Structure 1
Amino acid sequence: MFKKLSFPFALILSGLVCFSCSQSTETAATQDGWTSLFDGESLEGWKPLGGEAEFKIEDGVIVGYSKINTPNTFLSTEKEYTDYILELDLKIEDITSNSGVMTRGQYDAEKNRVFGYQIEADPKERAWSGGLYDEARRGWLYPLTLNPEARKAFKLGEFNHYRIEAIGNVIKTWVNDVPVAYVVDDMDSKGFIGLQVHSVGSNPEHAGRKTSFKDIKIQTEDLQSKEFPAGIYVVSTIDNTLTDYEKQDGWKLLFNGKDSDGWIGAYKDEFPTAGWSINDGVLSIAESDGSESQSYGDIVTKDKYSAFDLSFNFKLTEGANSGVKYFVTLDEETSGSAIGLEYQVLDDERHPDAKKGRDGNRTMSSLYDLITADKQPRFVKPIGEWNLGRVVVYPNNHVEHYLNGVKVLEYDRGSEAFRELVAKSKYAKWKNFGEAEEGHILLQDHGNNVSYKNIKIKELK
Structure 2
Amino acid sequence: MNAKLVCAILAFCSISFNSFAQKAVLKKVFNGRNLKGWVVPENNIWWTVADGILKTKSGPNKKGSILWTEKEYTDFVLETDFKYDEGTVDTGIFIRTDTQQIQMGISGSLKRDMTASPYIAGKGYPVEAQNVKDILKPRDWNTIKVIAIGGYYEVWLNNKHVMSYTSDNYVKTGPIGLQLHPNTDMAASFRNIRIGKLK
Which TM-score band (shorter chain)?
A: 0.7 to 0.9
CA contact (8 A) 1:91 1:212 kept: yes
Q: Does 1:120 align with 2:112?
A: no
Give me the whole-angstrom Cα distance separating, in 2, the residues matched to 1:180 and 1:55.
28
Match of 2:195 among 190, 214, 218: 218
- Go from structure 1 to structure 2 and tell me whether the alpha carbon gap of 1:49 and 1:184 turns closer, same or farther (over 3 Å shift): farther
Match of 1:169 among 151, 154, 165: 151
Give me the whole-angstrom Cα distance separating, in 2, the residues matched to 1:73 and 1:190.
21
Q: Does 1:59 align with 2:51?
A: yes
- Partner secondary structure for residue 99 of structure 2: strand
Match of 1:89 among 75, 81, 93: 81
CA contact (8 A) 2:93 2:177 kept: yes
Match of 1:185 in 2: 167
Q: Does 1:133 align with 2:119?
A: yes
| Larger RCO, structures 1/2 (Cα 8 Å, 6+ apart) | 2
Structure 1, unpaired ranges of 5+: 1-30, 106-114, 223-461
Q: Whose Rg is larger?
A: 1
Offset of 1:161 from its aligned partner?
Answer: 0.5
- Go from structure 1 to structure 2 and tell me whether the alpha carbon gap of 1:48 and 1:122 turns closer, same or farther (over 3 Å shift): same
Offset of 1:95 from its aligned partner?
Answer: 4.6
Match of 2:132 in 1: 150
- Partner secondary structure for residue 173 of structure 1: strand
AA paired with 1:171?
Answer: Y
Q: Does 1:103 align with 2:95?
A: yes
Give me the whole-angstrom Cα distance separating, in 2, the residues matched to 1:117 and 1:92.
21
Offset of 1:143 from its aligned partner?
Answer: 4.3
Match of 1:196 in 2: 179
Render the CA deviation track for 1:310-340: whole Å, top value 9, x for unaligned: xxxxxxxxxxxxxxxxxxxxxxxxxxxxxxx
- Partner secondary structure for residue 101 of structure 1: strand
Match of 2:7 in 1: none
Offset of 1:48 from its aligned partner?
Answer: 3.6
- Partner secondary structure for residue 151 of structure 1: helix
Runs (4+) off by over 4 Å: 49-53
Structure 2, unpaired ranges of 5+: 1-22
TM-score by length of 1: 0.35
Structure with bigger strand share is 2
Match of 1:80 in 2: 72
- Partner secondary structure for residue 152 of structure 1: helix
- Go from structure 1 to structure 2 and tell me whether the alpha carbon gap of 1:178 and 1:140 turns closer, same or farther (over 3 Å shift): farther
Q: Does 1:46 align with 2:30?
A: no
- Partner secondary structure for residue 83 of structure 2: strand
Give me the whole-angstrom Cα distance separating, in 2, the residues matched to 1:50 and 1:155.
33
Give me the whole-angstrom Cα distance separating, in 2, the residues matched to 1:174 and 1:121.
12
Q: Identity of paired residues, percent?
A: 27
- Go from structure 1 to structure 2 and tell me whether the alpha carbon gap of 1:132 and 1:148 turns closer, same or farther (over 3 Å shift): same
AA paired with 2:187?
Answer: K
- Go from structure 1 to structure 2 and tell me whether the alpha carbon gap of 1:184 and 1:221 turns closer, same or farther (over 3 Å shift): closer
Computed over aligned residues only, the root mean square deviation of the Cα atoms, in angstroms, reads: 2.5
Match of 1:244 in 2: none
Offset of 1:86 from its aligned partner?
Answer: 0.6
Render the CA deviation track for 1:209-236: whole Å, top value 9, x for unaligned: 42111101111145xxxxxxxxxxxxxx
AA paired with 2:80?
Answer: L
Give me the whole-angstrom Cα distance separating, in 1, the residues matched to 2:114 and 2:46.
25
Give me the whole-angstrom Cα distance separating, in 1, the residues matched to 2:172 and 2:112.
29
Render the CA deviation track for 1:383-417: whole Å, top value 9, x for unaligned: xxxxxxxxxxxxxxxxxxxxxxxxxxxxxxxxxxx
